[in-house]
Amino acid sequence: MNKNTKILKPALLCFLAMTVLCGIVYTAVVTGVAQLFFPHQANGSVITVTLKNGTTREYGSELIAQKFTKPQYLIGRPDGVTNLSPTGEKEKELVQKRVEWLRSIDPDNRSEIPVDLVTGSGSGVDPNISPAAAEYQAARIAKARNMSADAVRAVIRKYTTGRFLGFLGEPAVNVLKVNLALDGLL
Amino acid sequence: MSYIVVQDLFYIVFLIALSVPLGIYIDKVMTGQKVFLSRAFAPLENGIYKIMGTRSDEEMGAKKYTLSVLLFSGIGFVFLFLLLLLQGVLPFNPEGIKGISWHLAFNTAASFVTNTNWQAYSGESALSYLSQFLGLTVQNFVSAATGIAVLFALIRGFVLKRQSTIGNFWVDLTRATLYILIPLSFVIAVLLVSQGVVQTFSPYRAVTTLESGAAQTLPLGPAASQIAIKQLGTNGGGFFGMNSAFPFENATPFSNFIEVLSILLIPAALCVSFGKAVKDGRQGRSIYLVMMIFFAVSLVAITACELFTGPGFNGVAASGNMEGKEIIHGVGGSSLWTVVTTAASNGSVNTMHDSLTPLGGMLPMFLMQLGEIVFGGVGSGLYGMLAFVLMTVFIAGLMVGRTPEYLGKKVEPFDMKMVCLIILAPPLLSLLGTAATVLIPAASAWLTNSGAHGFSEILYAFSSLANNNGSAFMGFNANTVYTNVLGGIIMLLVRFIPMAAAIYLAGNMAKKKTVAVSAGTLSTTNGVFVGLLIGIILIIGALSFFPALALGPIADYFTS
């Protein structure tokens, strides 16, 4: 046996041992613990609603955005990831288009639009908007649904999460949950 | 803004507080001492040695150590390459995903074996569950463990006197994996799942959307287990395409904090381990301080860029640049992550770097171009930094006309050759790769942005590849035969040339006797040295990259 094959054998066996340990055993144990203690989260945080006729329906994940376009719904961030330079011309045109569309479904609203409603997110499926972006839409939703703006605000508040420990991250309003609640499904 | 300051300060304090006990623990593990996990894991550890047919007291010289590293990585590369090609006919593939192209498989295998985790694919559409957990997760562990192993080989080089050996790679690798990476990853993975990071073998789930009633597919998989080690091992490869911006990888502000903390945890702790191992805590502290200074300045700079140099749009309230950022992370959490992930050679992202402001995007680029030594990769960051320390000692020695020495070891021509290999391989390959790509006419079709920002996309890509970082300006279409092959080769060269040089440096250092400290010895722990080291790092980084940065992000800033 020459010198190189002397190293090759432990290298092969070591790789095999590590593959079993880190690939199979570790992954299996984490999956087991996850499914045992956090089945809801581990399987995608799916929102299941029991309808009036007794059947259940899965309305999506609380972590993944859905597209909303009608005035009676809270509208989320533009979908998709652009990778555009924020200071470039393409970005400017895109943002202007979004601004015009938001104005067109809410012509009475004269206030400035919060920036997160007209800029793309990092994931392309950001499930949240800022509290300011939700407040911007409260009056429009109230009018479209013939309810008071304060009632809409109460629903929004209910599905707003704060900063962790009071200072980590940013407050966020979960768009899908608010809309499900507005439709009386949550 | 005050929240951002508190968040950043909390992060730094928490990191330092955790790095001290962990650093002491890592030193114990890597020097073969008993730790609290020994009782549980020692039988397993010895079992692994038995399978391998190696003894824990069998020592290796530099040549054998290097050969072991290369063979082990080579086997991992071949295994992963074949797995990616053949995944279509293998089990744990509920979505029936086919094998990927040979060049993408080559690139991906090179990427994960070298701890880069550059990704020219999206995990949810291109890889089966088997490829993820049996291929990528394993390389996430062992490439990080290899970095730690080589670092400790180098440390032994400084500590040992008149020895021809620097430890046993199999023992170093096994102990780093078993006692450090697996237990920490397990804790982090479970915490992540509790926040909403997915962990399952079930197929993707179809749901019905509320407004339109259309079908929506939720991609799933055993993600949390891989994400834990992706952060801890400074790997950075996302289970899903959008990496840690994707909510199933990073669901809440708490999960974000855990992930961003675990990126720097081990690299920071290794500074403490280094001080312990060389029996002079001040040596570790001065290096830790230099890293922390670079880190803090970059963090302030990028946060300011994203807050204040963002675009203004008609009729839109100005509140910082939110393009490419998630609501829960905002400007603060996104800026912190961006600096952390490029200071360390992690490369995972929670915001789209292509959509950073021009100067905000220059900072992560520059942190990579410094050679991934501001904390850097697990193990590799510190041995890279030690090369800069030797360079500084050498230059300072030239200035006063004394033979340079570090930790009682004379620094001689062979050592400096190795140091140069470690320091110069990354900038050389970054710039050559960028230059070659700019010359290709087809390259402009691979870009999302044009002009100076388009050039930045190319410069960022090759700075990332040639420093084993793995993050990207994702507007750059990387899945081409050219970039896959060239990028794969660059990643391999820039990982294994410096690594082999570090091991041979260790071997040469271990052979030397130590010289007594005298009044003329340059202190490597005082303020003057810290200043010198910062100066050398900046001079090498700035001189190499200033012209390229001027054409990219700086021109972008002035023209948009």
B474-513 per-position pLDDT tens digit = 999 999 999 999 999 999 999 999 999 999 999 999 999 9
Q: For B237-249, how does the pLDDT look when each residue is reduced to its tens digit (9 = 90+)?
A: 999 999 999 999 9
From chain A, the residues in CB contact with B225 under 8 A are: 26-27, 30-31
Place of tokens 């292509």: B354
Return the residue in B41, B129, B327 with the most chain A beta carbons within 10 A, the one to mutate for interface testing: B327
Q: Do A30 and B189 touch (CB under 8 A)?
A: yes
Packing angle of the helix pair B481-511, B137-159 (nearest 10 deg): 30
Q: What is the pLDDT of residue A3?
A: 64
Q: What is the pLDDT of residue A5?
A: 73
Can you spell out the DSSP letters for A82-107?
----TTSHHHHHHHHHHHHHHHHH-T
Supply the range of the domain harboring residue A87.
Answer: 62-182
| Dihedrals phi, psi of A113, to nearest 5 degrees | -85, 130
Tokens of A133: 């972006």
Q: For B141-168, how does the pLDDT look when each residue is reduced to its tens digit (9 = 90+)?
A: 999 999 999 999 999 999 999 999 999 9
Give CA–CA dist B327/B329, Å, rounded: 5
Which residues fall within 8 angstroms of residue B387, CB to CB, at 6 or more apart?
B418, B419, B422, B423, B498, B502, B505
**Residues A74 and A139 grouped into a single domain:** yes
- How buried is B268 (Cβ within 10 angstroms: 0-12 exposed, 13-18 middle, 19+ buried)? buried
Domain assignment present for residue A25? The answer is: yes
Residue B345 reports pLDDT greater than 80: yes
Place of tokens 């330092």: B16
Rg value, chain B, Cα: 23
Q: What is the pLDDT of residue B541?
A: 85
Q: What is the pLDDT of residue B560?
A: 84
Mean pLDDT of chain B: 96
ipTM: 0.96
Domain assignment present for residue A47? The answer is: no
Q: Where are the alpha helices (DSSP H) in A38-183?
A: 39-42, 89-105, 131-145, 149-158, 175-182
- Calculate how close chain A gets to B77, using CA atoms only, in Å: 11
**Residues A70 and A22 grouped into a single domain:** no
Give CA–CA dist B273/B159, Å, rounded: 13
**Residues A164 and A124 grouped into a single domain:** yes
**Residues A14 and A105 grouped into a single domain:** no
Domain assignment present for residue A101? The answer is: yes
Domain assignment present for residue A150? The answer is: yes
Domain assignment present for residue A164? The answer is: yes
CA angle at residue A34 from A29 to A38, to 5 degrees? 160
Q: What is the pLDDT of residue B432?
A: 97
**Residues A112 and A145 grouped into a single domain:** yes
**Residues A80 and A28 grouped into a single domain:** no
Q: Is residue B80 a contact partner of residue B113, using CB atoms and an 8 Å limit? A: yes
Chain B residue with minimal CA distance to A89? B560
Domain assignment present for residue A84? The answer is: yes
Q: Do A63 and B556 touch (CB under 8 A)?
A: no
Is A164's Cβ below 8 Å from some Cβ in B? yes
Is A44's Cβ below 8 Å from some Cβ in B? yes
Give CA–CA dist A163/A155, Å, rounded: 19
What total of structural domains would you count in chain A? 2
Q: What distance, in Å, lies between the first and last C-alpha atoms of chain B?
A: 26
Long-range contacts of B313-316 (CB under 8 A, 24+ apart): B313/A92, B313/A95, B313/A96, B313/A99, B313/A115, B313/A118, B314/A96, B314/A99, B315/A99, B315/A103, B315/A112, B315/A113, B316/A95, B316/A99, B316/A112, B316/A113, B316/A114, B316/A115, B316/A118
**Residues A30 and A73 grouped into a single domain:** no
**Residues A152 and A73 grouped into a single domain:** yes
Tokens of A56: 């259940």
Q: For A158-168, how does the pLDDT look when each residue is reduced to its tens digit (9 = 90+)?
A: 999 999 999 99
Residue B23 reports pLDDT greater than 60: yes
Is A167's Cβ below 8 Å from some Cβ in B? yes
Q: Is residue B297 a contact partner of residue A73, using CB atoms and an 8 Å limit? A: no
Q: Do B72 and A11 touch (CB under 8 A)?
A: yes
**Residues A93 and A123 grouped into a single domain:** yes
Q: Do B210 and A11 touch (CB under 8 A)?
A: no
Domain assignment present for residue A100? The answer is: yes
Q: What value does the mean pLDDT take over residues B457-467? A: 98
**Residues A92 and A159 grouped into a single domain:** yes
In whole angstroms, what separates CA B25 from the centre of its chain?
21
Residue A2 reports pLDDT greater than 80: no
Is A155's Cβ below 8 Å from some Cβ in B? no
**Residues A35 and A68 grouped into a single domain:** no
**Residues A27 and A89 grouped into a single domain:** no
Q: What value does the mean pLDDT take over residues A12-36? A: 98
Provide the 8-state DSSP code for B325: B
Domain assignment present for residue A54? The answer is: no
